[in-house]
């Protein structure tokens, strides 16, 4: 087991403890990570106590159909944008029993990037107590690294946000 896998496992255990303590459920809405965050969460035995569901919304149509992200929003800002990741995070809450969500959308590469949005551009969003938050990551590395780093960072940010929540 690598150091990063141990780190993710520890993050999930901490997240599980915090969600269980608050009596909250988590939903994930993932594009570039393709379900890696949900998989990390459900690797922990007993996760059904705090993990509700995961949405893998890789295509723009899936974001619209499964999460209710307006197609116009995607057309205006692009799938890899702050506006879309916040809509994904809010949609995951609306379409689940969860009180908390994590959403990610980005360009993991090796192709698909542009001058404006190069490979490694990732938006991470989360919604806690009805308030969406987001942050832009500019990662450099292989597709595997970008997806793994996004998973780790998303879990870290949500854990930090839960510690700050009332």
Phi, psi dihedrals of residue 102, rounded to the nearest 5°: -125, 140
* pLDDT band per the 50, 70, 90 thresholds, residue 164: confident
pLDDT tens digits for 74-126?
A: 999 999 999 999 999 999 999 999 999 999 999 999 999 999 999 999 999 99
Half-sphere exposure of 44 (CA within 13 A, CB side): 22
- 123 CB-near residues (< 8 Å, 6+ apart): 80, 81, 82, 84, 85, 104, 105, 106, 134, 135, 136, 137
Residue 6 has pLDDT above 70, yes or no: no
At a CB cut-off of 8 Å and minimum separation 6, what does 86 contact?
A: 103, 125, 127, 132, 134
Mean predicted confidence (pLDDT) in 121-142:
96
Q: How confident is the model at residue 1 (pLDDT cuts 50, 70, 90)?
A: very low
Task: For the beta carbon of residue 157, count every other beta carbon within 10 angstroms.
Answer: 18
**What is the pLDDT of the chain when averaged over all its residues?**
95
**Rounded to two decimals, what is the model's pTM?**
0.95
Domains belonging to the chain, first-starting first, are: 3-164 (3.90.950.20)
What mean pLDDT is predicted for residues 12-21?
96
């Amino acid at each position: 087991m690598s150091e990063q896998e141990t780190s993710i496992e520890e993050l999930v255990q901490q997240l599980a403890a915090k969600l269980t303590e608050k009596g909250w459920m988590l939903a994930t809405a993932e594009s570039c990570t393709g379900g890696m965050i949900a998989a990390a969460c459900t690797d922990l035995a007993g996760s059904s106590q705090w993990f509700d569901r995961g949405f893998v919304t890789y295509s723009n149509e899936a974001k619209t159909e499964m999460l209710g992200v307006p197609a116009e929003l995607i057309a205006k800002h692009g799938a890899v944008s702050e506006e879309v990741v916040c809509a994904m995070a809010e949609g995951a809450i609306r379409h689940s029993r969860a009180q908390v969500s994590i959403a990610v959308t980005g360009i993991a590469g090796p192709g698909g990037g542009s001058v404006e949005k190069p490979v490694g551009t990732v938006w991470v969003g989360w919604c806690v107590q009805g308030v969406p938050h987001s942050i832009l990551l500019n990662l450099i590395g292989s597709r595997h690294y970008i997806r793994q780093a996004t998973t780790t960072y998303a879990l870290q940010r949500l854990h930090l946000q839960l510690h700050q929540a009332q």
